[in-house]
Structure 1
């Protein structure tokens, strides 16, 4: 579909996708630097090399569409619209973070842009997406819900249970597999007898497509078709993106499970940012390309300064956000704000308002 655009429109789309990928790359490299410096507590998992998937998918989505992410969710969160300031403050465990410093890297969420959350549980996002998709049907909207997941998640029960549910109820769910060749520290070649995981979708009657996950245009086109199908009542789609993570499973991973130099070899030939720049050719000048990098670096530096100047959460913050009614309008920094509470409404099922799933 990107190929069907006029040359100026295709260039505009390509630059937008490239801008998103560069912002993700700068954010991820900055997270790596500050994590190793001791500024970021907990664990952090990077998606360097997978930027084209986040950019291509989220460019098709509206703010009121939902996504659920994985433990490797920084790119998805940024591409869906969360501010870099709020993300970095969250990673630095500050009260001004998008989750007020309590979610961190693996549990970052932003309901205001439909980001239902990163998830420390492998395959933990499937049920969230099925629920959001069911809610859209019951409320008779044209919203869609997208589940990002890795190849390892397809070997767990929630994958199969929720694909089956979304298929039989014809829900507007889109399943985006980031097949980066490794489930944690294990190669998919050691855990599966199939090369294309998407063939599993056929068992549930769900159409599937395989795309080059290093090509943001290819991902964009696949999601454009999937979102159009979902919004029109056509049901779920499975999109397998063949990609690669250029870093270990987590920051500091010794990566003994893969060949030395493997990541460098892949990125030398398939870096999604380099490929997009090459694809745009003369339509994007070297100066314009450098400005995209400088803008992203300036944005990240501003976010770090914002985080450093922000307070840590107060001790009592641990007791707020446990129940849906927990908020103190007099203290919006440290309490759940009405804006955030109201942002939950688009994904709150109203049992009985629709025919599918009523009474369950």
Structure 2
């Protein structure tokens, strides 16, 4: 490691963590080869929302070092786990919930997971909506069946660069589950602990709507990193979202942010914007919690879900897909910020 380069890099702060890259242990390599500086920066998540800003500031700092004429900059990523990882091999468990049904919670959860995976993270997706599982259909795996591996653990199904488990892949199509609370608790425990999730940076959990048994079982079974609340702009949805937030507060689960889904609609023929459900109501919640994004209502998101391909992959340049990618990256940033609270003040250079 070059002392001159490390001194220069110590002036660059992570814009979300508000500490310099060197003390955060984000510099893997900082070497001088003649007048060429070779630097590798390990971001705290592959989905870093402010990578561009970090790159600009690193270039400015390094190229200001005497004798440096060129910079070869490489980025990696290392998602740090909390002090107490929730499951073996799983660094973060994030719950995606809503106070009521019909707000597009499952669609948001699927697209968050797909976006994080597309950015290079190791991602799992648990469909905990046992009574109304829809994740398998949205991923084009409705007819697939979960099998057991050689260790007699459930083998998650792989789709679009992630692993997932859903009750839809364990029961006959169209069969209703008539289960009481203890059976739900047992099923959730099996999904979490008896599935071969492997090494994951993030396990995204799609919760059923409301504040019932599944939510209680999850928060009592494992230590989760936090929750995301999905709502729509109208008052009735916001009232129910506030109830969901209160439930997580009572369960000591941090709320990482709010997503306003179906925020507005842009008519494809005229380009006129319609606020079908009002707009901006979630900003009231955003005064207490980060507003991760406002996702427009688009026909394509529904069509992509029915076709079994997340919108962020099927039509990545659509307005809804870009908003959902932003949601996922801001969420990853919030997770990094929360994890920082568990880190020592000074970390060794990697």
Tell me the TM-score normalized by structure 1: 0.33
- More strand as a share of residues: 2
Tell me the TM-score normalized by structure 2: 0.34
- More helix as a share of residues: 1
> In terms of Rg, which structure is larger?
2
